[in-house]
A and B are shown apart, each in its own frame.
Chain A
């Protein structure tokens, strides 16, 4: 009879393996991201346990390097990226009034590429040698002479997941530019949609240099080329350039969506419209532009010369201006508002002072003479954790508490949420504030121990205690999820008295999102209708059949092919040239699935409007 009835009968696992629904892909991204967050967090605790006392032998040498490298790689690529992508997938089509993303098939492919890339990187833990030259993979530390085969896992794993990210970025750009509801002009888009648009542009231009860098790394390691080998005329600084041309925009493409989340959360819980919307949009673009102009500030000590250093120092410090505009706009939004201290809003409020501190140390690091002193010290570690945890992780938590009811239909428990927030915030500052001082006192980063009497004992002890407080905070969050699934309060359409389009829809949202596309009459579209006394949006179209994409197993297979290919190439390096054929076989699987995708027509299907109407009348839609 109907596609929806069939969809309801699908086994859960098969449903998720073949789904092209952006809301289910969001859930896949969120669960994988949270899983890797726990892994990366355990790695962080291991690092902190080792550094708790001088001369500790809990985790030393190569093992320490491996855990430290995995922690950094995991947190950036397998935690921050998928969680941000998960929230984007869950929210963006709803916020702009679209029935779907522009390319549902590619959306699924993006997720599976990320998933198999991350899994491949972690296979290294079980085959003898994990990556060990830091998440930046600097040469010559990353070449065959100095490291085991872990770096091949790093290179190929990141290559596969990076392809997924690029696909996702293109998808969101096309979605936001092409699929907005009638009346939703660019300057009426919610800030989260804006920051997603801009950060997708960053993905578009930042990931290809990483792709090239990783290819060159793979060629050097597996096929004997000499890009980074000075003995044959290679140059290690090329790696640093390629890595940071990607790496610096990367932190902005992570933090801009977090800024977008705060720009949704703060107005909603202040009951005011966002102050300075236009300047927020402008500041977002300016941050993105400047984010590309500053990669050399990671290379001040390489010796590129005073002119290069000066130009990049100025560009870097300039970023403080648009960021400051944003901070003041958030403060002005709260000014005179009716502020509700929900868990989501607490994370937004905790973010502001935390991120400002990270910004201030950023300006300190942006000055080359000072940077020469801070370089490779714990001051740098403290700075980037203030920015990435204080910005991105706080943003993700705010977004999770804010949109959880829309995604799963149930409200997260507020008491547990507040315990989570306070343990996490206090633990965070305890862990990382002292690390600024440890850096100034002379403690280097990347070391696995220090001697008694160097003056690092107390600082490291405090830092480790803080890390455990953060972990307790996360445990409260995990408990919160479990409690919510068992007996969470049912959310309803609009639990927060929201301002944007997603709150007009049932929670969880039906497969086709909007029964009829809404007519948008201004910024904060739903709020405008509420002020006008309307309970829902005006429709922009008559009721009709809704066109939906077909589910497909091909994205999973395509990514699995690359996973097998990656394993083959890595094992060729490690054991036996014959594994090259496994690698080629894996590539063949991918090419074959691409061929199938080309020759099998996929016109999608329609949900008939009679059917939709009967379902809208009923209660539960899953």
Chain B
């Protein structure tokens, strides 16, 4: 069908050129609206419970801002590289798009590695999922975000593997676009976590 796209010129917005693409575009924005409410509920729960440490270490004592700052830089940079990937997609440059997505994947994986390291450090200091309501709320909120990052990595990898030998088509362009949209959303949520959990936690 449309698989031999290398010779075909693409429209300016291949991700929205077909009805299916338009539907996906709109449907995914709506899904992200629901995800926002989901994270808002988790943030509200965390804010209500963040002082319930029950004698365990507080956020002020726990959080290592340099590590978290490094993680933030990695993740926000990965957002930018996924923008580069989508710009390449719109210019119908498949190998450049793939390269940018791979950089995105590496940055995301590095972020996830730092988060796992951070969690193990906290557990050593007796701050666990079951030690207090603060612990439960912290690991649930940050962990939900972390599992979103993991899901995004799996998603983008699957997309790349599946379409490795195929050019950009009207069928797979919406898929690339949505994956990058999801990635931006996950990064955006992190900005709130960085502020609400870590910066506010450091202030006390």
Q: What residues of chain A have their CB less than 8 Å away from a CB belonging to chain B? A: 102-103, 166, 170-171, 173-174, 177-179, 204-205, 207-209, 211-213, 215-216, 219-220, 223-227, 229, 232-235, 238, 241-242, 245, 595, 598-599, 601, 603
| Contacts A204-B34, A601-B171; A227 near B158 (Cβ below 8 A) | no
- Which of A102, A179, A223, A598 is the one whose CB lies under 8 Å from B129? A223
Residues on A with beta carbons closer than 8 Å to the beta carbon of B34: 166, 170, 204-205, 207-208
* Chain A to chain B contacts (Cβ below 8 Å), 6 pairs: A170-B30, A219-B140, A227-B133, A233-B54, A598-B159, A599-B158
Q: Does B72 contact A (CB under 8 A)?
A: no
Residues on B with beta carbons closer than 8 Å to the beta carbon of A170: 27, 30-31, 34
B131-145 interface bits toward A, Cβ cutoff 8 Å, 1 = contact, 0 = none: 111111100100000
**Chain B residue at minimal CB-CB distance from A200:** B30
Q: Does B124 contact A (CB under 8 A)?
A: no
CA separation between A382 and B41, bound complex, in Å? 31
In the complex the two chains form, is A216's CB within 8 Å of B45's CB? yes
Residues on B with beta carbons closer than 8 Å to the beta carbon of A208: 34-35, 37-38, 40-41
In the complex the two chains form, is B33's CB within 8 Å of A204's CB? yes
In the complex the two chains form, is B129's CB within 8 Å of A245's CB? no
CA separation between A212 and B136, bound complex, in Å? 13
Q: Does B67 contact A (CB under 8 A)?
A: no
- Which of A178, A225, A229, A232 is the one whose CB lies under 8 Å from B23? A178
CA separation between A502 and B57, bound complex, in Å? 64
In the complex the two chains form, is A224's CB within 8 Å of B130's CB? yes
Most chain-B Cβ atoms within 10 A of its Cβ — which of A223, A226, A233, A234?
Answer: A233
Most chain-B Cβ atoms within 10 A of its Cβ — which of A166, A174, A179?
Answer: A174
In the complex the two chains form, is B162's CB within 8 Å of A598's CB? yes
In the complex the two chains form, is A238's CB within 8 Å of B30's CB? no
Q: Would you give the shortest CB distance from A567 to chain B, in whole angstroms?
A: 22
In the complex the two chains form, is A232's CB within 8 Å of B158's CB? no
Q: Does B49 contact A (CB under 8 A)?
A: yes
CA separation between A209 and B52, bound complex, in Å? 22
CA separation between A601 and B134, bound complex, in Å? 45
In the complex the two chains form, is B133's CB within 8 Å of A226's CB? yes
Name 4 extra pairs, CB < 8 A, besides A226-B136, A227-B133, A234-B52. A208-B35, A208-B40, A226-B132, A599-B158
CA separation between A204 and B26, bound complex, in Å? 13
Q: Does B60 contact A (CB under 8 A)?
A: no
Q: Does B48 contact A (CB under 8 A)?
A: yes
Q: Does B22 contact A (CB under 8 A)?
A: yes
| Contacts A212-B38, A238-B48, A598-B158; A205 near B33 (Cβ below 8 A) | yes
Residues on B with beta carbons closer than 8 Å to the beta carbon of A224: 129-130
Q: Would you give the shortest CB distance from A2 to chain B, in whole angstroms?
A: 19
CA separation between A233 and B42, bound complex, in Å? 17
- Which of A209, A225, A603 is the one whose CB lies under 8 Å from B130? A225
Most chain-A Cβ atoms within 10 A of its Cβ — which of B35, B52, B134, B155?
Answer: B52
In the complex the two chains form, is A245's CB within 8 Å of B133's CB? no
Q: Does B88 contact A (CB under 8 A)?
A: no
| Contacts A170-B31, A208-B37, A227-B133; A235 near B48 (Cβ below 8 A) | yes
**Chain B residue at minimal CB-CB distance from A203:** B34
Residues on A with beta carbons closer than 8 Å to the beta carbon of B31: 170
CA separation between A124 and B28, bound complex, in Å? 35
Residues on A with beta carbons closer than 8 Å to the beta carbon of B40: 208
CA separation between A215 and B141, bound complex, in Å? 11
Q: Does B1 contact A (CB under 8 A)?
A: yes
Q: Does B95 contact A (CB under 8 A)?
A: no
In the complex the two chains form, is B30's CB within 8 Å of A204's CB? yes
| Contacts A170-B31, A238-B45; A233 near B37 (Cβ below 8 A) | no
- Where chain B touches its partner, the secondary structure class is helix
Residues on A with beta carbons closer than 8 Å to the beta carbon of B158: 595, 598-599
In the complex the two chains form, is A216's CB within 8 Å of B27's CB? no
Q: Does B53 contact A (CB under 8 A)?
A: yes
In the complex the two chains form, is A225's CB within 8 Å of B129's CB? yes
- Which of B27, B33, B42 is the one whose CB lies under 8 Å from A212? B42
Residues on B with beta carbons closer than 8 Å to the beta carbon of A211: 38, 41
In the complex the two chains form, is B49's CB within 8 Å of A227's CB? yes
- Which of A102, A209, A223, A232 is the one whose CB lies under 8 Å from B54? A232
**Chain A residue at minimal CB-CB distance from B55:** A233
Residues on A with beta carbons closer than 8 Å to the beta carbon of B53: 233
Residues on B with beta carbons closer than 8 Å to the beta carbon of A234: 49, 52, 133, 136
In the complex the two chains form, is A232's CB within 8 Å of B52's CB? yes
Q: In residues 1-37 of chain B, which contact A (Cβ within 8 Å)? A: 1, 19, 22-23, 26-27, 30-31, 33-35, 37
In the complex the two chains form, is B136's CB within 8 Å of A227's CB? yes
Q: Would you give the shortest CB distance from B33 to chain A, in whole angstroms?
A: 6
In the complex the two chains form, is A216's CB within 8 Å of B133's CB? no
| Contacts A219-B140, A229-B133, A598-B162; A603 near B171 (Cβ below 8 A) | yes
The 10 closest A-B pairs by CB, nearest first: A233-B52, A225-B136, A233-B133, A208-B38, A208-B37, A212-B41, A102-B23, A174-B27, A234-B133, A224-B130
CA separation between A178 and B30, bound complex, in Å? 13
Q: Would you give the shortest CB distance from B159 to chain A, in whole angstroms?
A: 7
CA separation between A314 and B128, bound complex, in Å? 43
CA separation between A179 and B37, bound complex, in Å? 26
| Contacts A170-B30, A238-B48; A226 near B130 (Cβ below 8 A) | yes
| Contacts A204-B34, A599-B158; A212 near B23 (Cβ below 8 A) | no
Q: Would you give the shortest CB distance from B26 to chain A, in whole angstroms?
A: 5
CA separation between A153 and B135, bound complex, in Å? 25
CA separation between A224 and B70, bound complex, in Å? 32
Q: Would you give the shortest CB distance from B39 to chain A, in whole angstroms?
A: 8
| Contacts A174-B26, A208-B41, A223-B129; A235 near B49 (Cβ below 8 A) | yes
Residues on B with beta carbons closer than 8 Å to the beta carbon of A213: 41
- Which of A173, A219, A223 is the one whose CB lies under 8 Å from B30? A173
Residues on A with beta carbons closer than 8 Å to the beta carbon of B38: 208-209, 211-212
In the complex the two chains form, is B48's CB within 8 Å of A103's CB? no
Residues on A with beta carbons closer than 8 Å to the beta carbon of B42: 212
CA separation between A242 and B38, bound complex, in Å? 10
In the complex the two chains form, is A242's CB within 8 Å of B41's CB? yes
In the complex the two chains form, is A245's CB within 8 Å of B41's CB? yes
**Chain B residue at minimal CB-CB distance from A591:** B154
CA separation between A232 and B26, bound complex, in Å? 43
Q: Would you give the shortest CB distance from A233 to chain B, in whole angstroms?
A: 3
In the complex the two chains form, is B130's CB within 8 Å of A171's CB? no
In the complex the two chains form, is B130's CB within 8 Å of A178's CB? no
Q: Would you give the shortest CB distance from B60 to chain A, in whole angstroms?
A: 16
Residues on A with beta carbons closer than 8 Å to the beta carbon of B48: 235, 238
CA separation between A235 and B45, bound complex, in Å? 9
CA separation between A227 and B44, bound complex, in Å? 12
CA separation between A595 and B158, bound complex, in Å? 8
Residues on B with beta carbons closer than 8 Å to the beta carbon of A179: 23
CA separation between A245 and B42, bound complex, in Å? 13
In the complex the two chains form, is A171's CB within 8 Å of B27's CB? yes
Residues on B with beta carbons closer than 8 Å to the beta carbon of A225: 129-130, 135-136, 140
Most chain-B Cβ atoms within 10 A of its Cβ — which of A173, A177, A215, A226?
Answer: A226
In the complex the two chains form, is A174's CB within 8 Å of B30's CB? yes
Q: Would you give the shortest CB distance from A538 to chain B, in whole angstroms?
A: 22
| Contacts A204-B34, A208-B34; A233 near B27 (Cβ below 8 A) | no
